[in-house]
Amino acid sequence: MTDAIKSTRDRPWVMRTYSGHSTAKASNQLYRSNLEKGQTGLSIAFDLPTQTGYDPDHPLASGEVGKVGVPIYHQGQMRTLLDQIPLDQMNTSMTINATAAWLLGLYIANAEEQGVSTTALRGTTQNDIVKEYLSRGTYIFPPDASKRLIVDMIAYCSEHVPLWNPINICSYHLQEAGATPVQEIAYSLANAIDILDAVRDSGQVPPTSFPRVVGSISFFVNSGIRFVEEVCKMRAFTQMWDEICQSRYRVDDPKLRRFRYGVQVNSLGLTEAQPENNVQRIILEALGVTLSKNARARSLQLPAWNEALGLPRPWDQQWSLRIQQVLALETDLLEHEDIFDGSHVIESKTSELVNDAYRELEDVLELGGAFEAIGELKQRLVISHTERMRQIESSELTVVGVNAFEDTAESPLGGDGSFLKVDPAVETEMVADIDNWRSSRSQLEVNQALENLRQAADGEENIMPATIAAAKAGATTGEWTEVLRDVFGEYRGPTGIQTASGNSPGLRKVADRSQRLSAGPPRILVAKPGLDGHSNGAEQIAVAARNAGMEVVYDGIRVTPDHIAATARDEDVDVIGLSILSGSHLQLVPLVLDALQDHGVKAPVIIGGIIPEDDQQALIDVGVARVYTPKDYEVTKIMNDVVDLVEEKRSKE
């Protein structure tokens, strides 16, 4: 048989939409309607307070409740979120990391309440902390403690929740932070190795069960616009993981060595300018992870055309789901064997990636592994991203609609109504809800459960039983986390900006300007208030400012208004640059301005990030000097503006 065409089609991948916002109730409705539209799995986005372990009434949660995901603060809300969704049939993916053990605890507690056995539960907790340190930013505890929590979850699931993927190793976020394909492969595999070594050495899993644990490791991968290379990347991943499982962990069963992965396609390359072009980008990126049958994604979620404008509305998400459906159901894609088998072009590109990635992987292992090398890896990512930005600014890398073919006919898309806005009243509602919850539970029971949790954390016991018990007793997300913060301490991630230099003639010219200023080079504070972890912009602005001859203070993500103001005052900076992408700028900026005033700081404040057009004037009105958005990709121009501002400010002193 020349089996180019098979009579039976392959089964389509799992189609998901990453979603959740406002409240558990609203999100439950959204999920149910998505399932009716043919979506075949759940992918839950949590709000930032839930991800970083704060209750809605915590000062740091202010402005962030229900914004970029669903708030889940206690078991009652988990119950509402999953109402009428059959837990024994549903495959639920939760993007949750530092507080993953807690959210799994709530999920299990809820299942038991519904009479569903934990052995029937299927799904994934993302639970990958290395990529939180390197890119995503919702880490809480230091590396060692975080690793221990992960190991505990893996060990617990291996025994009690066997169908659950306790961890999903992510390379996705590394590409979103600027990683090259080689870095993406090497750092995520190093991460997987670090975790598996730790599970093996923990003694919590009997050697006979260990191959199954190896087999339970799944991955979450990115697919960028260079989709031919991405096909090769997936094949490289598949080959390398198979080899590592065999050589390092002696897993004999090939099925357990299979590189199982889900995908979200690249969002970093999706543009604010001419946003309709994003649709073709998304389709091409989807091809990168579906074309090759042998390296095809298990599940896929696609961002929406309005990615760089704001949160997607249901219709935007439906459009992206329909892209998947057309690809899987209308085309002949699923009828063929691997269409690249025998292609020497694909083969040679794949082996090039494999070789380079092995080299980089060795390097990381030599540095002591992914956890140990976080600071170094972060720097390497920032360097890669700086290079990417430089290429876009110099037009070496073409981005249609941005640095090429910028002219456009008038577009019916865009504008202020074109993305989802979360009602700020949600926060008040959630604060009332948690008050209510706290007063209706048995405080004695909660105290006891939290005390048991503390002891488990302090000792060697697996964290899960005490966590599930605390969930059942009615503890809250903030309370669970507070206990662990107390025991483990809190971690501040590396900023990675120390070494990136880049070679931009434009910035060099600005540097000459900076150095000629009579009162010394400009001093700039770059700061990220709120819980927002999108650090790319702040990092790139900090690096650019340094390369533009400025003296730069940047303390990393999640700093308070008081922290910003005290730093600005003590360092006598000339400019304060805020970066906010989480959508909470209207709440946060006035808080920062007030704090600056309290501290006697008069330096101008500029801001960049995802700032919708309508809000830009509002920010200027409260006293912000300049607003920048992703459209302002020419960093040199931004830096020249900064020097202008500094000159103006100093001339008034």
Residues annotated as catalytic (active site), given as ranges: 18, 172-173, 528, 532, 534
Cβ within 8 Å of residue 251, ≥6 positions away: 211, 214, 215, 245, 257
548 binds other proteins (CB under 8 A): yes
- Contact at 8 Å (CB) between 329 and 12? yes
Q: Is 207 exposed, middle or buried (0-12, 13-18, 19+ CB in 10 A)?
A: exposed
Q: Is 130 exposed, middle or buried (0-12, 13-18, 19+ CB in 10 A)?
A: buried
Q: Which of the listed partners (other proteins, ligand B12, none) does 155 bind, with a CB threshold of 5 to 8 Å by partner kind?
A: none
Q: Which of the listed partners (other proteins, ligand B12, none) does 277 bind, with a CB threshold of 5 to 8 Å by partner kind?
A: none
Shortest distance (Å) from residue 459 CB to ligand B12: 31
Tokens of 10: 């392959």
201 binds other proteins (CB under 8 A): no
Share in percent of the chain as helix, strand, coil (round to 5): 55, 10, 35
* Separation CA 399–CA 392 (nearest Å): 7
φ and ψ at residue 568, rounded to 5 degrees: -60, -40
Count of residues that interact with ligand B12, criterion CB under 6 A: 45
Name residues contacting ligand B12, limited to 615-634 (CB under 6 A). Answer: 628-630, 632-633
Tokens of 463: 């964290």
Q: Which of the listed partners (ligand B12, other proteins, none) does 541 bind, with a CB threshold of 5 to 8 Å by partner kind?
A: ligand B12
495 binds other proteins (CB under 8 A): yes
Q: E strands of 532-604, at which residues?
A: 551-554, 575-580
Q: Which of the listed partners (ligand B12, other proteins, none) does 71 bind, with a CB threshold of 5 to 8 Å by partner kind?
A: none
Instruction: Pick the closer one to other proteins by CB: 119 or 501.
Output: 501
111 binds other proteins (CB under 8 A): no
Shortest distance (Å) from residue 409 CB to other proteins: 42
164 to 183: interface string for ligand B12, x by CB under 6 A: ---------x--xx------
* Separation CA 340–CA 293 (nearest Å): 9
Count of residues that interact with other proteins, criterion CB under 8 A: 41
Place of tokens 């389509």: 12
532 binds ligand B12 (CB under 6 A): yes
Q: Is 459 exposed, middle or buried (0-12, 13-18, 19+ CB in 10 A)?
A: exposed
Instruction: Pick the closer one to ligand B12 by CB: 522 or 533.
Output: 533
Vertex 312 angle, CA 306 and 313, to 5°: 120
Instruction: Figure out which of the listed residues 108, 111, 193, 511 binds other proteins, where binding follows CB under 8 A.
Output: 511
488 binds other proteins (CB under 8 A): no
377 binds other proteins (CB under 8 A): no
Instruction: Figure out which of the listed residues 497, 527, 541, 635 binds other proteins, where binding follows CB under 8 A.
Output: 497
Shortest distance (Å) from residue 519 CB to other proteins: 5
* Separation CA 510–CA 630 (nearest Å): 21
Shortest distance (Å) from residue 368 CB to other proteins: 9
Instruction: Figure out which of the listed residues 119, 508, 613, 644 binds other proteins, where binding follows CB under 8 A.
Output: 508
Instruction: Pick the closer one to ligand B12 by CB: 224 or 608.
Output: 608
* Separation CA 365–CA 527 (nearest Å): 33
* Separation CA 581–CA 537 (nearest Å): 9
113 binds other proteins (CB under 8 A): no
Shortest distance (Å) from residue 652 CB to other proteins: 9
* Separation CA 643–CA 188 (nearest Å): 40
Task: Give the pairing type, strands 605-609 and 626-628.
Answer: parallel
606 binds ligand B12 (CB under 6 A): yes
- Comparing C-alpha atoms, which of 648, 641, 610, 647 is closest to residue 626? 641
220 binds ligand B12 (CB under 6 A): no
497 binds ligand B12 (CB under 6 A): no
Instruction: Figure out which of the listed residues 271, 301, 514, 636 binds other proteins, where binding follows CB under 8 A.
Output: 514
Q: Which of the listed partners (other proteins, ligand B12, none) does 508 bind, with a CB threshold of 5 to 8 Å by partner kind?
A: other proteins
Shortest distance (Å) from residue 370 CB to other proteins: 17
Q: Which of the listed partners (other proteins, ligand B12, none) does 507 bind, with a CB threshold of 5 to 8 Å by partner kind?
A: other proteins
Q: Which of the listed partners (ligand B12, other proteins, none) does 629 bind, with a CB threshold of 5 to 8 Å by partner kind?
A: ligand B12
Name residues contacting ligand B12, limited to 51-90 (CB under 6 A). Answer: 68-69
* Separation CA 526–CA 85 (nearest Å): 44
Q: What b/e sequence results for 56-87 when a residue is b if at least 16 CB atoms lie within 10 Å of its CB, and e otherwise?
A: bbbebbbbbbbbbbbbbbbbbbbbbbbeeeeb
Instruction: Figure out which of the listed residues 520, 614, 617, 644 binds other proteins, where binding follows CB under 8 A.
Output: 520
CA distances to 40, 137, 371, 625 from 364, in Å: 37, 21, 10, 43
Name residues contacting other proteins, limited to 549-568 (CB under 8 A). Answer: 549-556, 559-560, 562-563, 566-567
* Separation CA 49–CA 55 (nearest Å): 7
* Separation CA 125–CA 164 (nearest Å): 8
Binding residues (CB under 8 A) for other proteins: these are 492, 495, 497-498, 501, 507-508, 511, 514-515, 519-521, 542, 545-556, 559-560, 562-563, 566-567, 569-572, 599-602, 653
What are the residues binding ligand B12 (CB under 6 A)?
A: 45, 48, 68-69, 95, 135-138, 173, 176-177, 267-268, 270, 307-308, 310-311, 526, 532-538, 540-541, 577, 579, 581-583, 606, 608-610, 628-630, 632-633, 635, 638
